[in-house]
Structure 1
Amino acid sequence: MSPLQNLRTSTRRLATLAALASAAVLGAATATVAPASAAPTWAPADQATLTPGVQAYTEGGQCTANFVFTDSAGGVYLGYAAHCAGTGEATQTDGCESGSLPLGTKVDFAEGGSLVSSGTRLGGGTLAYSSWLAMQDNGETDADTCAYNDFALVKVDAADVSKVNPTIPFWGGPVGIDTDGVGAGETVHSYGNSSLRGGLELLSPKQGISLGTSGNGWTHPVYTITPGVPGDSGSAFINGEGQALGTLSTLALAPLAGSNGVGDLASELAYAQQHSGIAGLELALGTEPFSPLL
């Protein structure tokens, strides 16, 4: 049995979440950043309600948004993990074989509570891209790509775009994209707060270290002070310079117990740029500077 399991929570699994101890999939390649002139007018960072780290609910499944993206037509997207829209079990982590909800599925952004109905709804969007669906449509056969390309995009409803800011709370940035990965021992940062933490904001910012790069560049195992737990799937990871590194996908039981698997954003975004059909898809930079603790 696979020692990995995805980190999406669902309404039918909330009673057993404390027992979850494994994870899903990830990504790696090159990508570009949206020029400032192409970016929409963002909400002020201290007033925006749709930012990296917001909770995203897809037909009961709970995940965390990572980075903000734009397209050439002015569309705005929040990223999360493809398995957040998955229809199979948590142990089904191969994106080339696992089931997914279709594009166009409604996604709600919210904060507080274990379910969107008991929290505060902040806005919504629709599933616009799933690496799992794209790989299946494309007949992808590369084992590492199938295993670790776990990335999806939710197009923010036009009425909610004015609530968006791409800055990562607490840390600031991203200032660009990490295109060459991280070596063992390098510092990484993340932000996310699954409802399993009971709304404890002090646990939202996370700092840790990379354990290197594997899967031919598609994944970066990491340790953070508090590991990502179910509901944190999709969370943004940045490197020690504030560059977008990847997206949280898995929690490992073995061989690196308690580590998280982070998909390589450069690879995931490059795949999306080639197969999503979204023209001019780019990462949006934060409006606030990156500010590490050290």
Structure 2
Amino acid sequence: MRSRHPLRIAAAALLAFATALPLAATAQAAQPTAAAGGVLYKKINSGVSPSWYTPEFERRLLASGTDGVRLPADATLPGGVTAPQAAGLVQPGIRPGQWLLTLLGSDGSDNLLGWCSANFVFKKNSTWGLGTAGHCGVVGQPVSAYVVPPPASGKLPGLYVIGKISLSRDHGIGDDFAMITISPEFSSWMNPTMPVWGGPAGVHTGDQVGEPLKHFGHGTLIGTGGTPRVGAALRWDIENGAGYSWAGAATPGDSGSGVLTLSGQAAGDLTHIVADVEGNMIGVAGTRMTKILQVAQGWTLVNGSLLPL
């Protein structure tokens, strides 16, 4: 008997998990941005405000420069995971899958902290960039990341303000991407390789339904601390080929995650939940890499090692 591929088994299990969860139980999503074929595409809400993230903490963070700020000793991530337990917070460098906090101004206003994930590393001439979802922030906003600095830096793990959003497109499914321009002082910390999976290795341009897809993100329920997940492609033709979808599961905080094919090519980012007309999650969707590179004119994708170094 021919054995079933383990990634396809995992994808089927994720789809079964996703379809069993009502959308309201997994994410507070925005209103549908598109509806076609009996499904809705709902943007994943990135607003999360941990109790330890106070105005005083933000002031310290914004003034910390290359020293960063340590997480409070009792800090927990949504889902109850503490930082030392989080497997996705141990690999050094600024890289795909990074846990990002968009600093919206925790000054007593109604603004929530933007909790998202990074997709891929980019470069424009000598300037480094890091991608995320467009709905994670607007142009000019500073972005911090939980970083384990390279050992040679002599710095400690913690939150660092790594740069500012220089480009943001929040136009719905297939047009949702932002670029963070990395501050020059962190250039030597950049690592283009995705944890666990390795890659990216070029840009995916195919359209095979059922193709295994994999990503690494920091969702607040099933992805807390950084969790690798596998799915299977459903569509590559959303919005005339600018968007795509796959059978998988995601929660707030996963927004912006990078998605790879089985061979390690960059498929795109993760921005939306696919729901049926009753609101049940049936998959995940995002902006294809080909569209991202059209939007990010002048920026090029930086390939990573196929080994997750």
> Can you list the C-alpha shifts for 1:201-246, whole angstroms capped at 9, x where unaligned?
5xx111110012222111111112xx11101000000112110001
Could you tell me how far apart the structure 1 residues matched to 2:100 and 2:201 are?
24
Distance 1:159 1:236, change over 3 A: same
Could you tell me how far apart the structure 2 residues matched to 1:200 and 1:65 are?
13
CA contact (8 A) 1:212 1:220 kept: yes
Distance 1:212 1:47, change over 3 A: closer
Matches within 5 A, 1:113-262: 120-132=158-170, 147-180=173-206, 182-197=207-222, 199=224, 201=226, 204-213=227-236, 214-224=238-248, 227-254=249-276, 257-262=281-286
- Structure 2: any 5+ residue segments left out of the alignment? 1-30, 33-39, 52-77, 80-89, 105-112, 149-156
Q: TM-score, normalised by structure 1?
A: 0.66
RMSD: 2.8
Could you tell me how far apart the structure 1 residues matched to 2:201 and 2:114 are?
30
Matched, 1:9 2:46: yes
Partner of 1:53: 97
Residue from 137, 143, 157 that aligns with 1:107:
143
Could you tell me how far apart the structure 2 residues matched to 1:4 and 1:130 are?
19
Could you tell me how far apart the structure 2 residues matched to 1:235 and 1:193 are?
8
**Number of residue pairs the alignment of both structures matches:** 216
Give 1:56 shift.
1.2
Q: TM-score, normalised by structure 2?
A: 0.63
Partner of 2:130: 78
Partner of 2:83: none
CA contact (8 A) 1:49 1:122 kept: no
Give 1:104 shift.
2.0
CA contact (8 A) 1:8 1:63 kept: no
Could you tell me how far apart the structure 2 residues matched to 1:13 and 1:123 are?
18
Could you tell me how far apart the structure 1 residues matched to 2:225 and 2:173 are?
32
Q: 1:222 is matched by which residue type in structure 2?
A: W
Give 1:105 shift.
1.4
Distance 1:237 1:252, change over 3 A: same
Larger radius of gyration: 2
Distance 1:110 1:13, change over 3 A: closer
Could you tell me how far apart the structure 2 residues matched to 1:4 and 1:221 are?
10
Distance 1:212 1:11, change over 3 A: closer
Give 1:130 shift.
1.1
More displaced stretch, 74-83 vs 50-59: 50-59
Aligned residues with identical type, % of pairs: 28
Distance 1:193 1:13, change over 3 A: closer
Give 1:249 shift.
0.6
Q: Larger relative contact order (C-alpha < 8 A, sep ≥ 6)?
A: 1
Residue from 268, 275, 287 that aligns with 2:292:
268
Give 1:200 shift.
5.2
Could you tell me how far apart the structure 2 residues matched to 1:176 and 1:185 are?
20
Could you tell me how far apart the structure 2 residues matched to 1:198 and 1:185 are?
23
Structure 2 residue matching 1:189: 3-state secondary structure: strand
Structure 2 residue matching 1:269: 3-state secondary structure: helix
- Structure 1: any 5+ residue segments left out of the alignment? 19-45, 86-100, 113-118, 133-144, 274-279
Residue from 286, 290, 294 that aligns with 2:304:
286
